[in-house]
Amino acid sequence: MIAGGSFLPGPVAVHPEVLAAMARPMISHRSPEMHHIMRRLQDRLRPLFRTTRPVLLGTCSATGYMELAARSAGAKLLAVDGGYFGWRFGAVAESCGVEVVRLMVPPGEVVTPDLLQDALDAHFPDAVSFVHSETATGALCDLGALARTVREHSDALVLVDAVTSVGGSAVETDAWGLDFVFTGSQKALGLPPGLALGVASERLVARARALPARGWYLDVVKHLEAAERHEPTQTPALPLVYALDHQLDRIARLGGVEGRWAHHRALQAVLYRWVNENPGWSFLAPSGARSMTVSALRPPRGLPTREVLRLMAARGYTLTGGLGELADAVVRVGHMGDITPVELSMMLSALAELRVVAQR
């Protein structure tokens, strides 16, 4: 085993077997072979999202599907904003001409159903955007309860950035009644970046059909119709499709989506124990509302974020700081994808040593 490695909250390190799968020869995106691959992907992607609906697949970053959601949902969006990606959902919608009202949440915290209900009653939005696991803060909201609140108090659509939760912890698309939920390939799925995956409810698609000027490349109707025909929407990034095909096979062999959640629980447990054993370090997000895949840790007094990143880089480890105003306040650790508990433990051992060095 080699010490060092990337613990970024994406793009995550990719298993060598998955990297190798990309080198297969190109095929026509209109061939029977492509159709066969797309059908196989459908069968394996549905359980990942816990849905019976078709899973949409796009050649774009997750931001592309954020825009697809924003273009599908009507004139007024309530954006729950508890960090960079919550902010971004609103900003993307604004860039598409949608009126955006923000429900601000302090960094690291999550919105409560009560606050959400007040905002719904005050603003009557056409849709509400959530970030399930806020990659900027490591906070995980109670999406099931929040979606229920929206449904009980309005007919707004529920749009969910689940970029660092799908494959990392439970995302119950059908049971929670989510109208659009999406992720990117380079997070808990352990793939290179470049593909977005999502599920759209019938309700969302019906509403989208009535909206003019949805565009072409990120039109949910085109993406749904392609998925139903087991075809890509446009010429897809074939090497990434091959990698996805291989990785879904690996995930199926390793216990399916529940095995994947258990893997991420094991990684999170390693980190929890380490934080308990290393006073001075603490989670930004409160107990009970923490992401299974990414943690923002406050470093001990006297050990600035930048110094942590620099010293860890010298040891071969790639970590990152916060985003925006949190830049120097936290160290972010991605504990997702195909890294093992042992690899995570080794990185944390190196992190623990920094504290000793700094305090001398």
- Number of other residues whose CB lies within 10 A of the CB of residue 113: 16
The helix or strand, by DSSP H or E, that contains position 334, with its residue range, turns out to be: strand 331-334
**Site for a copy of itself (CB under 8 A): which residue of 290, 320, 322, 339?**
320
For the record, the structure tokens of 115 come out as 């606050």
**Site for a copy of itself (CB under 8 A): which residue of 121, 122, 229, 235?**
235
Q: Residue holding tokens 């700094």?
A: 358
How big is the chain, counted in residues? 360
Contact call for residue 214 and a copy of itself (CB under 8 A):
yes
Q: How many CA atoms lie within 13 A of 24 on its CB side?
A: 18
Site for a copy of itself in 281-300 (CB under 8 A): none
Q: Measured from the CB of residue 57, what is the shortest distance to a copy of itself in angstroms?
A: 12
- Please name the residues in contact with 94: beta carbons below 8 A apart, sequence gap of 6 or more: 100
Does residue 150 sit in helix, strand or coil?
helix
**Site for a copy of itself (CB under 8 A): which residue of 42, 112, 117, 234?**
234
**Site for a copy of itself (CB under 8 A): which residue of 81, 161, 179, 219?**
219
Contact call for residue 59 and a copy of itself (CB under 8 A):
yes
For the record, the structure tokens of 295 come out as 């943690």
Q: Of 41 and 120, which has the nearer Cβ to a copy of itself?
A: 41
Peptide bond into 113 cis (omega under 30): no
- Please name the residues in contact with 6: beta carbons below 8 A apart, sequence gap of 6 or more: 12, 13, 317, 318, 334
**Site for a copy of itself (CB under 8 A): which residue of 83, 125, 167, 193?**
193
Stretch of 109-117, 132-140, 146-154, 239-247 contacting a copy of itself, by CB under 8 A:
239-247
Contact call for residue 71 and a copy of itself (CB under 8 A):
yes
Q: Measured from the CB of residue 277, what is the shortest distance to a copy of itself in angstroms?
A: 28
Q: Of 286 and 324, which has the nearer Cβ to a copy of itself?
A: 324
Contact call for residue 19 and a copy of itself (CB under 8 A):
yes
**Site for a copy of itself (CB under 8 A): which residue of 213, 301, 356, 360?**
213
Q: Where are the beta strands (DSSP E) in 34-179?
A: 56-59, 76-81, 99-104, 127-131, 133-134, 139-140, 157-161
Q: How far apart are CA 19 and CA 242, in angstroms?
A: 10
Contact call for residue 95 and a copy of itself (CB under 8 A):
yes
Q: Of 108 and 236, which has the nearer Cβ to a copy of itself?
A: 236
Q: Measured from the CB of residue 112, what is the shortest distance to a copy of itself in angstroms?
A: 29
32-49 helix and 238-253 helix, angle to the nearest 10 degrees: 50
Residue 191 is classified by DSSP as -
- For a copy of itself, the binding residues (CB under 8 A) are 6, 8, 10-14, 16, 19-20, 22-23, 25-31, 59-64, 66-67, 71, 91-92, 95-97, 184, 186, 192-195, 212-219, 234-240, 243, 318, 320
